[in-house]
Amino acid sequence: MHIPDGYLSPQTYIPLYGVSAVFWAVALKKIKKELAHKHIPYLAMAAAFSFLIMMFNIPIPGGTTGHAVGAGIIAILLGPWAAVLAVSVVLIIQAIIFGDGGITSIGANCFNMAVVMPFVSYWTFMLIKGKEKTGSRFYIAAFLAGYAGLSAAAIITGVEFGIQPLIASAPDGTPLYAPYPLSITVPAMAIEHMTLFGVIEGMVTALILKYFIRNDPELVYSLRETDNKSLDEA
């Protein structure tokens, strides 16, 4: 899902840099205000985790490869804004040091995997778990959070690829950047992520949440948020 240089036109990657920059600025503000000092090591670990899990390429036999991102579990454990920061740092390092994802497409890749994904995951989790703090509904919510987050990121990436022929073609109609239309790019990205990679993301999300609930439930941001909300209501 790391869009390389050359696939997006400037009309796409420049605005997406702008959108991601807004989210980075808000994330820094939120983290400064809300992230407790003792949680900083977890933020660093979250970034390390996301970096590592993206190195585990999962093959579709005879086809393409993909990987989990980890943004969903980070959003559940540390909050969506912490996930914006952690995963953005990862994507920027991947682009600069390892050439995984382009330099021009850093804004787009951060938007897809470090903005869309953590927020979709977080909202999915909060919506489905309701007031549960454990049990099957709670962990199904976590699975679906990871699944929906990665799928949403993949579909957005597909849209970004697919609009290129529409907005950036030579006068004779040959595409200048990513060459395939929406009718190919969106299904291609959606199907592989919704059938395989998203399922793995979901399982990773649920398992890690289980591990944290067992060892350090106080840490879990989304549970604290639920408690705060019910306090407000009461």
Tell which positions 203-232 bind other proteins, by CB under 8 A.
215-216
Closest distance of CB 99 from other proteins, Å = 3
Size of the site for other proteins (CB under 8 A): 72
Instruction: Point out which span in 46-54, 127-135, 136-144, 225-233 binds other proteins (CB under 8 A).
Output: 46-54
Q: Identify residues 63-82 at the interface with other proteins (CB under 8 A).
A: 63-67
| Residue 103 vs 127, nearer CB to other proteins | 103
Instruction: Point out which span in 15-23, 30-38, 125-133, 199-207 binds other proteins (CB under 8 A).
Output: 30-38
**Can residue 23 be called a binding residue for other proteins (CB under 8 A)?**
no
Question: How many residues are listed for the chain in this entry?
Answer: 234
**Can residue 47 be called a binding residue for other proteins (CB under 8 A)?**
yes
| Residue 104 vs 124, nearer CB to other proteins | 104
Q: Identify residues 87-116 at the interface with other proteins (CB under 8 A).
A: 89-90, 92-100, 102-104
Instruction: Point out which span in 72-80, 122-130, 178-186, 220-228 binds other proteins (CB under 8 A).
Output: 178-186
Distance CA 234, CA 219 (A): 23
Q: Which of 111, 122, 138, 177 binds other proteins (CB under 8 A)?
A: 177
| Residue 192 vs 201, nearer CB to other proteins | 192
Distance CA 192, CA 184 (A): 13
**Can residue 142 be called a binding residue for other proteins (CB under 8 A)?**
no
**Can residue 41 be called a binding residue for other proteins (CB under 8 A)?**
yes
**Can residue 131 be called a binding residue for other proteins (CB under 8 A)?**
no
Q: Which of 14, 22, 26, 44 binds other proteins (CB under 8 A)?
A: 44
**Can residue 61 be called a binding residue for other proteins (CB under 8 A)?**
yes
User: Side-chain half-sphere of 228: how many Cα atoms within 13 Å?
Assistant: 6
3-state secondary structure the chain: CCCCCCCCCHHHHHHHHHHHHHHHHHHHHHHHHHCCHHHHHHHHHHHHHHHHHCCCCEECCCCCEECCCCHHHHHHHHCHHHHHHHHHHHHHHHHHHHCCCCCCCHHHHHHHHHHHHHHHHHHHHHHHHCCCCCCHHHHHHHHHHHHHHHHHHHHHHHHHHHCHHHHCECCCCCECCCCCCHHHHHHHHHHHHHHHHHHHHHHHHHHHHHHHHHHCHHHCHHHHHHHHHHHHHC
